[in-house]
Amino acid sequence: MDSESKVQQQQAAYKGVTCPLSLAEPTEDDLKETRSLEEMMKRMNVFESQEGMEQRSTALISLQALACDWISEVAAQKCPSQALDGIGGKIFAFGSYRLGVNTRGADVDAVLVSTRFIERHEFFDKFFDRLREHPRCGAAHAVSDAFVPVIKMTFMGVDIDLLFAKLDMATIPDNIDLRENTETLLRNLDERCVRSINGCRVTDEILHQVPNPENFRVALKVIRIWAKNRGIYSNAMGFLGGVSWAILLARIAQLYPNAAPNVLIIRFFHVLTRWSWPKPVELCELSPPNLHFPEWDPRTNIKDQFHLMPIITPVYPRQNSTYNVSISTKQVILAELERGRNLTNEIMFKQKSWEDLLEPVNFFDAYRHYVIVIASSDTAELHLDFQGLVESQLRKLVLSFEHNGAIDRAHVNTESYGRANESEPEHVTKWFIGIEFKKAPEPGKKLNVDLTFDITNFIRQINGMANSLQLRLDVLYSKKRGLSHYLPPSEHWKINRSKPACVYGAGNCNQGGAASALAAAAGGAAGASGSSASAPDPAISPMGSAMLMSGSDVPVGSKRPHSPNCFASSSQELQPKRLTAAGGGGAGGGSLTRTDSSSSSLSNVSVKAKT
């Protein structure tokens, strides 16, 4: 057999929707670099120790025993005694814990798979009560009406998110493989059960699709640290979640099946910076079973045609794991991938280190203008729900900003913050959205910036979901220099620079430093024509902070009094006003003011409002 035929046979043996790009084996230098990567991660001490992994395993085993006892009790009330043999359930872990890349102290995602005799409402009522009574279970919290219903708890010192799925089976075999026999497994399941069980099926299929799981795990640990440090690890915020990053790296592992972890990381950036989005990333071809669950298919689903970075789960029903990605978040992700490509090029030539790749980004060094969303509650229990609600809706506010003709980019920080000082409520969470305004089309022309509708609509949505006297929501505006009022003192160093070093998507720039993903860009709402200098910074108010929408000390859903610098969120109270940014050439900058019948001048650096 000639060498070409041998290579063709080797390529045919590997998985993936295409043949591998290279079958090259690791070199001695690759193995050395891999050891260097593993030593670096040990020094960082971010991943779970062996003792911590054993603690999680023990907790899951004990939780499964508790669940099986409960299932047997419920089944005994419904079934004849001769049918009770073998009735029980099984807990499957998935996500980062199942992949072997969970960070220290991270929660464990798991699903309880039960027989047909157990109903969902019994799991969220009776089993939830059993958990709350258990001496080793604390902070149990059921979210039964979520898109993927879950019970959150701390069990034997381990944070666990437990889902539920019942199969149309009389018993659950100990050796059941959730990847196999898809049609039999999913028959007669509702969509919530399918979504719950597919988390485990996706994780198992990813591991099945990679040629070398151990090399994949080492590389995935680095990619996860990189994505988190660079602020692009969050599905809820419109970036990529853990499953999406794992699928992307798994595809690279299929293309380079024999590569060492360091090579997988380098190829990860090189391939993805050249990927022709929205071409989907897929790990395998599927033969759909004779079932009728909705799945991702841009040929038949119009909405799927508008997905920007489709990354498709490798099990039926196929779903796009990145449907939340927006124009702004895609730009940020691509900028970080480009930065990673440039740095890994330098790492190959020993000009940079892996630590440079993983350097955390300074979000507050990237923009001049910020919108701050502040959620506060009277109690810790209420705040847990309210914080999750507001965070889940932030993406919609960002999308609304993106459709505003005066805004070029709206970038939400994936990290949230608590109290800045003792005068603030005890239970408070803040999110920061960096805003990049478009430049004025011509020198001396003003650019109208109207955020009234965007913010009012956002608060109305929250009002409709959580109308309580014990909940408060504020949406404020601040320049960079005013952020110290909202950030805890430990974070003030992040805003000490005089101007942003970089704005995502502006072009190439120095690759070192926290904000070095792209070149420094002209900020502000208007810029000087024919000049390479940054655009003037539009001033907002004499205090450096103008309140666009506020509900300070006023409950969500209640009527808010009219006051200067304040928009009421109640539809009965809302008065149409416009925020207008003006700018011209030169160092004088511009001003941002609200125009109404009492003020049309843009020379005064203030925010005016009717009372």
Higher per-residue confidence, 467 vs 611: 467
Q: How far is CA 354 from the centre of its chain?
A: 24
User: Amino acid identity of 337?
Assistant: L
- Residue-level pLDDT at 326: 94
Residue 210 in marked binding region: no
Lowest-pLDDT range of 5-14, 72-81, 172-181, 347-356: 5-14
HSE-CB at 429 with a 13 A cutoff on CA atoms is 21
Residue span(s) of the chain under CATH 1.10.1410.10 come to 12-45+210-358
Sign of CA dihedral 97, 103, 104, 107: negative
Instruction: Please give the average per-residue pLDDT across 435-463, as a whole number.
Output: 83
Q: Could you tell me the maximum CA-CA distance found in the chain, to the nearest angstrom?
A: 88
- Which residues in the chain are classed under CATH 3.30.460.10? 50-205
The encoded tokens of residue 359 equal: 């350097």
Backbone φ and ψ for 150, nearest 5 degrees, come out as -150, 150
C-beta atoms surrounding 468 within 10 Å = 16
Architecture of domain 364-496 in this structure: 2-Layer Sandwich (3.30)
pLDDT at 428: 96
Residue 320 has a pLDDT of 97
Whether the per-residue pLDDT at 453 is higher than 50: the answer is yes
Predicted confidence (pLDDT) per residue in 527-577, tens digit: 333 333 334 444 333 222 333 333 333 334 333 333 323 323 332 222 223
Separation of alpha carbons 289 and 119, rounded Å: 25
Q: What's the DSSP call for residue 299?
A: T
Which of 180-189, 435-444, 523-532 is predicted with the least confidence, judged by mean pLDDT? 523-532
How far apart (Å, rounded) are the C-alpha atoms in residues 59 and 51?
Answer: 12
158-166 vs 446-449, strand pairing mode: unpaired
- The neighbour count for residue 140, using CB atoms within 10 Å, is 19
Which fold is adopted by the domain 50-205? Beta Polymerase; domain 2 (3.30.460)
Instruction: Please give the radius of gyration of the chain, using alpha carbons only, rounded to the nearest integer.
Output: 27
What six digits make up the tokens of 542? 């004499």
pLDDT band at 504 (very low <50, low <70, confident <90, very high): low
pLDDT band at 15 (very low <50, low <70, confident <90, very high): confident
Contact 237, 411 (CB under 8 A): no
* Cβ proximity of 279 and 249 under 8 Å: no
User: Is there a binding annotation on residue 108?
Assistant: yes
Give CATH 3.30.70.590 domain extents, the chain.
Answer: 364-496
Residue 94 labeled ligand binder = yes
Would you state the pLDDT for residue 610?
26
- Decide if pLDDT at 313 tops 80: yes
Pairing of the two strands 407-412 and 427-437: antiparallel
Residue 363 labeled ligand binder: no
Question: Could you tell me the pLDDT band of residue 519, with boundaries at 50, 70 and 90?
Answer: very low
pLDDT tens digits along 88-117: 789 999 999 999 999 888 899 999 999 888
Backbone φ, ψ for residue 257 (5° rounding): -65, -25
Side-chain half-sphere exposure of 309, counting CA atoms within 13 A:
26
364 is in an annotated binding site: no
What per-residue confidence (pLDDT) applies to 169?
87
Mean pLDDT of 15-43: 92
Q: Choose the CATH number for 12-45+210-358 among 3.40.1170.60, 1.10.8.50, 1.10.1410.10, 2.102.10.10.
A: 1.10.1410.10
Which region among 218-222, 290-294, 321-325 has the lowest average model confidence (pLDDT)? 290-294
pLDDT digits (tens, 9 = 90+) for 392-427: 999 999 999 999 888 999 999 999 999 999 999 999
The residue with tokens 């005013």 is 482
User: Per the annotation, does 233 bind a ligand?
Assistant: yes
Closest to 339 measured CA to CA, from 205, 473, 447, 227: 227
Q: What is the mean pLDDT of residues 455-479?
A: 89
**What integer pLDDT is reported at residue 183 of this predicted model?**
87
Least confident of 141-150, 235-244, 296-305, 448-457: 448-457
Q: What is the pLDDT of residues 195-205, one digit of tens each?
A: 999 999 999 99
pTM score: 0.81
pLDDT single digits (tens) 246-261? 999 999 999 999 999 9
Q: 107 labelled as ligand-binding?
A: yes
CB 239 within 8 A of CB 233: yes
Q: What is the pLDDT of residues 328-385, one digit of tens each?
A: 999 999 999 999 999 999 999 999 999 999 999 999 999 999 999 999 999 988 998 8
Percent of the chain with pLDDT over 70: 78
Establish whether the linkage from the previous residue to 317 is cis, with ω within 30° of 0. yes
Place of tokens 């001049």: 368
502's tokens: 């970089």
Give yes or no for residue 312 having a pLDDT over 60. yes
SS (H, E, C) 396-414: HHHHHHHCCCCEEEEEECC
d(CA 391, CA 395): 8
Distance CA 460, CA 481 (A): 29
Give which of 476, 436, 605, 397 is closest to 485, Cα–Cα.
476
What distance in Å separates the CA atoms of residue 517 and residue 548, rounded to the nearest whole number?
A: 30
State the pLDDT at residue 440.
74
Helix 242-255 to helix 213-229 angle (10° resolution) is 130
Q: What per-residue confidence (pLDDT) applies to 4?
A: 60
pLDDT bin (cut points 50, 70, 90) of residue 164 is: very high
Confidence of residue 83 (pLDDT cuts 50, 70, 90): low
Whether residue 600 is predicted with pLDDT greater than 70 in this model: the reply is no
Average pLDDT, stretch 429-434?
A: 96
Lowest mean pLDDT among 62-76, 246-260, 478-492, 510-524: 510-524
The whole-number average pLDDT for the span 66-84 is 81
Q: Rounded to the nearest 5°, which phi and psi values hold at 128?
A: -60, -40
**CA distance from start to end of the chain:** 88
* Three-class secondary structure of residue 393 per DSSP: helix
